Amino acid sequence: MKRLAVIGLACLLTACQSRPDNLLEGPPEQTANFSTRAADHSDCVYRFAESTRSAYLFHILGRADNQEFWVTATGSNAATVPKLPKLELHFIAQGETTIVELRHAASGDHELSATLWGIVDRCARQVGTPSAATPTAP
């Protein structure tokens, strides 16, 4: 029983520090700072994204310490829908603000990128202060 508790604790501690597998690498295409909590902002974006009519499947991932969240979009696995590019929004808690980074695959869907960035802005207004966005250079 003690061994199981030690293994479980070790897994929990490494999960707090690790980044989920199969995320996009490289510099973000778009970045901004928002006066929001990362957990609230990412949850809002995920719920809005899921409610859109899209051929994408949306997922939300988070670190156990609630300091980073990822909302990802992947192509549907249905045989009738071609494999679509992947897109990722990364939410990073920085004190009272959240840094949001947008990345997409090399053949990224620019229409989806624009739609999701609009959702990021809309959610920032809902869960944060009225002048919540400060664009930064990647």
- Taking only the tens place, the pLDDT of each residue in 30-77 is 999 999 999 999 999 999 999 988 888 899 999 999 999 999 998 876
pLDDT higher than threshold 70 for residue 29: yes
How many C-beta atoms surround the C-beta of residue 39 within 10 A? 16
For residue 31, which of 129, 118, 107, 117 has the smallest C-alpha distance? 117
Tell me: the pLDDT tens digits for 94-105? 988 999 999 988
Q: Delineate the domains of the chain, giving CATH numbers in brackets.
A: 2-136 (3.30.310.220)
**pTM for the structure as a whole:** 0.75
pLDDT value for 105: 82
Contact between residue 23 and residue 70 where contact means Cβ atoms under 8 Å apart? yes
Block residue for tokens 């508790």: 5
For residue 85, which of 102, 101, 100 has the smallest C-alpha distance? 102
How many C-beta atoms surround the C-beta of residue 106 within 10 A? 8
Please indicate whether residue 76 or residue 13 has the higher confidence score (pLDDT).
76
Overall average pLDDT of the 96-120 stretch: 89
Please list the alpha-helical segments (H only) found in 18-136: 38-51, 110-127
Please indicate whether residue 133 or residue 13 has the higher confidence score (pLDDT).
133
Residues 6+ apart with CB under 8 A from 96: 35
How many C-beta atoms surround the C-beta of residue 74 within 10 A? 17
pLDDT value for 9: 41
Residue 94, sorted as left (phi over 0), alpha (psi -120 to 50) or beta, turns out to be beta
